[in-house]
Amino acid sequence: MRRRTPVAVPADPTLGDLTPEQRLRRLELTVTRRLDGLLHGERRGLLPGPGSEPAGSREYRPGEDEVRRMDWSVTARTTVPHVREVDADRELTTWLLVDASPSMEYGTAELDKRELAVAAVATIGFLTAGPGSRLGAQVLTPYGLHRVPARSGRTHLIRLLRALLAAPRFGGPDPETGRTTDSAGLAEALAAVHRVANRRGLVVVVSDFLDGLPDDPRLPAAWERPLRRLSVRHQVLAVEVVDPRELELPDVGLITLADPETGDCREVWTGDRDLRERYAAAAAAQRDQLRRALRRAGAGHLALRTDRDWAADIVRHVHAQRRLALAPAGPHRGGTA
């Protein structure tokens, strides 16, 4: 009797599958230079000492102060030697808001939306890591909002990523706390980030942004106002996670569509060409509505798809931001027409 060769069953994506090391290393140099250019000297630090932010002047103390720190303009006005006081630049603090709600439990490509969100978190964590830089997270789950305190180090990042990968999927009570589904939404989660992010830094929101998006495009999204509050104080990046089946329907006959948030089901005949065209038009209008809401809120926008090379999309986004940062200021900044 011939023995059958066992068929290998593909395993769930691991941390290594979601974070290609070589591509991240190449990208890290690019993003680090960009972040230094944007953040260096842009905001006042908290720690007194050598730095780039001016903090006033005081009288010169012989034997204590360095001559190279002399404030010659104040010295000339007062005829008394003065030295400059400066504040040390603050290290970057990054807060992540990761959407792990039921709508993220969907995917028709190699990764589902939630796994792609973890990949985005891994990339951002590696690229913003540095001496003294800290990373914190708020995770929006069906069972409530889970906070991960801001800490530094690669070990902390790896622990956060493994916790996201191992977090319970939607269905039944939380196995850890026994709690059932909570009603917290994206707007409440953004407000929670605003409360904990008390230092100026970087805020990254990873979500599909479907929660709180109204049917009427003339109305603001429920999360637009709290997102605008965050962008006033922080640099905000909105990472939109999309699956291709959310943009268009294939012709595969009769299918059953289920709303992961409410559980409502509906049978749809995808052989209807007019139905597929209306679906694609509605999806495109919804994405335009989302882009306008993010622009009004003052957030940067990075769209990632489960059927595309997400690392390449991040590279393109970073290079585009670098070009904007290095672009000429224009005639109103002292240039010529």
| Strands laid side by side in the 235-242 sheet | 144-151, 134-141, 93-99, 202-207, 235-242, 300-305
Beta bridge partners of 238: 205, 301
294, burial (CB in 10 Å: exposed 0-12, middle 13-18, buried 19+) = buried
pLDDT at residue 165, rounded to an integer: 80
DSSP state of 332: G
Cα 14 from Cα 162, distance rounded (Å) = 9
**How far from the centroid of its chain's Cα atoms is residue 296's Cα?**
17
pLDDT at residue 337, rounded to an integer: 37
Cα dihedral: 305, 310, 316, 320 (round 10): 60
pLDDT average per 10 residues of sequence, the chain (337 residues):
46 58 46 41 40 65 80 88 68 88 85 90 83 86 85 86 75 52 78 89 92 88 94 92 91 84 84 92 94 94 92 82 65 40
pLDDT at residue 16, rounded to an integer: 59
User: Widest CA span of the chain, in angstroms?
Assistant: 104
pLDDT at residue 336, rounded to an integer: 35
Residue 214: name the closest of 234, 180, 187 by CA: 187
pLDDT at residue 27, rounded to an integer: 47
Residue 103: name the closest of 240, 8, 266, 284 by CA: 240
pLDDT at residue 39, rounded to an integer: 41
Cα 186 from Cα 209, distance rounded (Å) = 8
Residues in Cβ contact with 58 at an 8 Å cutoff, skipping those fewer than 6 apart: 82, 83, 85
**Domain boundaries, given as residue ranges, for the chain:** 15-38+91-324, 49-88
User: In Å, what is the CA distance from 36 to each residue of 10, 55, 302?
Assistant: 41, 21, 20
At 144 the three-state DSSP class reads strand
In DSSP notation, 47-85 reads EEEEEEEEEEEEE--TTTS-GGGB-HHHHHHHSS-EEEE
pLDDT at residue 48, rounded to an integer: 40
Contact 287, 244 (CB under 8 A): no
pLDDT at residue 38, rounded to an integer: 41
- The strand pair at 93-99 and 134-141 is best described as parallel
Which stretches of the chain are DSSP H helices?
15-18, 21-39, 72-78, 113-128, 154-166, 186-196, 224-233, 273-296, 310-326
CB atoms within 10 A of CB 227: 27
pLDDT at residue 305, rounded to an integer: 93
Cα 300 from Cα 31, distance rounded (Å) = 15
Contact 192, 229 (CB under 8 A): no
Q: What is the CATH number of domain 15-38+91-324?
A: 3.40.50.410
pLDDT at residue 326, rounded to an integer: 67
